[in-house]
Structure formats: C-alpha cells, structure tokens
Amino acid sequence: MLRNGGAETDQGVIFAGAKTSLRNSSSIAFLPRHRCLCRSNDLNASQQTLSHSNQRPSFSQSSVILKVGMVGDSQIGKTSLMVRYVEGSFNEDYIQTLGVNFMEKTISIRNTEITFSIWDLGGQREFVNMLPLVCNDAVAILFMFDLTRKSTLNSIKEWYRQARGFNKTAIPFLVGTKYDHYATLPREEQDEITKQARRFSKAMKAPLIFCSTSHAINVQKIFKVLLAKAFDLKCTIPEIKGPGEPLLIYVSPIQTCATAPMWQPVLTLAFLHDW
C-alpha cells in the first residue's frame, strides 16, 4: 500500500480506486510505469536506503532507484518533460494533470542499473495536499517554471518553501521550460526573467537549466546533471551561460555533509552520451 490511500499493482499505482489512462484528460488516477525493472518492495526499500541513510548512492550496488519530484504551477510543461525524457515523444495537446503522474526510466552504467522514478504533481493548488507524496524520499526535486510567464517563476518561492518542509535534503534544481517560446521574446524580457532566475537559483543553491520539450533542448542533460549531483561525480557537460541561450549552469562547490561516504567513484559522465 502507498501513502494517501493509494495501492500499487503490477501495472502502476492506483489512487482513490480509479483506473484511467495517463492520456485521459479528465482524470489521471492511474499512473502507468515505463521500463520498470524492479519490484515495488525494491522501490520502497531503495528509496528508504537513499533517503534515510543520509548517504550518497553507490555504484557498488547492482541497482539503484533515484526518486525525482517535479513541482510548479499548472501548464508549465512538467508532464511533457517527463514524457519526453521517458518515452522520447512530445504531444502538443495540453493534458491537465489531476493529482500525481508517475513514470520510470532505467539506464545502465557499467554493471549498475539506475532507475529514475519521476513523480509529477499537478500544479493546481487543490493538489498541494499530495505534495508529501512527491517530495518524501526524493533524491532531487525539480522546481519548474514557464520562461514566458514570470508569475510562474515568482511562484517558485512558495513551492520551494512547502517542498522543503517535507524534504530538506533533496537536491534542488531550477528548471525553466518552453525555451523555444522564450527565444522569441524581446531581449529586454529575456534579460529580466533570466536575471531573476539566476537570483533564485543562487538563493536555492540549485543548478539552473532552461529547456524545451518540443525541441528536445537540455532535456537529457537535466537528468545527466542530476545523476552527477546524486553520485558526487564530475560532470563534463559544457555549461551554457550566454545571454538568450538555453542556460545550463550547474557548477558549484561539492555539497558535503558529516555523514557523506568516504568513497569517490572514478567515473565521469563524458561516456554517457544520450541514453
């Protein structure tokens, strides 16, 4: 059984006893899995291991699950980003998320299978009571906003405050969506929202990434940087900092804590290419 009255089946997660398709625009109560290579008890056990041990995951394990939460206002492209990364597809039709979407993608690095368990919270305020389901046990949380709507960036302050109330250790990411539309804005508007995003990113101590789901810009790189942060790896992806460009800023002093493991994997992300 899951929190919030949900139940888990071989096909996915059921909330409130309802079953509908991920693509059902009227309700998204059934959350199908994608490329899931682990059992539900493995998922729960692995999340507890990563979250409650206060340690970084290790490549010495044969399989690792990284839970990733996605929060932000409605209609900013959270679900589209998740589907683009997991399935490699993009649907121009807007599909409202009612509640929580959940998908998984598994990659293999050397002899380790790494599963990204991605939880997408609907942006309407009536779903804020489900925020613990998305944030609890997450290794990273993507705080997302629409680059063409400054109000969605302003909302990040409240999303960050509430999410941090449930998970103070998750690695924060600040992700701006719809870069392809942002690129058509007047330079003054671009500069204004970029300046504010940089300021928020600095305050959050979070990587800042601009992406476009429709044009597949920086989508893969979000999760590559996330993987590097989660494992304390050296990331060799070039940063992008130029005005008007799809920003990719992630270099910061390595986060350390008293309980961090003493090992340092001899591994970089240069060989990963596209998963």
Q: Sketch the domain layout of the chain as residue ranges.
A: 3-249
In tens, the pLDDT along 211-243 reads 999 999 999 999 999 999 999 888 999 999 998
CA distances to 18, 26, 27, 97 from 21, rounded to whole Å, are: 10, 10, 8, 11
Mean pLDDT of the chain: 75
97/18 Cα distance (integer angstroms):
15
pLDDT, residue 126, reads 66
pLDDT, residue 30, reads 34
In tens, the pLDDT along 59-82 reads 556 889 999 999 999 899 999 999
pLDDT, residue 122, reads 81
Specify the range with the lowest mean pLDDT, choosing from 8-17, 94-103, 159-168, 220-229: 8-17
In tens, the pLDDT along 137-195 reads 999 999 999 999 999 999 999 999 999 999 999 999 999 999 999 999 999 999 999 99
Of the two residues 100 and 263, the one the predictor is more confident about is 100
pLDDT higher than threshold 60 for residue 106:
yes
The pLDDT of 257-261, averaged and rounded, is: 35
Report if pTM > 0.75. no
Distant-in-sequence, close-in-space partners of 229: CB < 8 Å, separation ≥ 6:
140, 171, 207, 235, 250, 255
Q: Contacts from 88-94 at CB under 8 Å and sequence distance 24+?
A: 90/213, 90/214, 90/216, 91/23, 92/214
Q: Class for domain 3-249, per CATH?
A: alpha beta
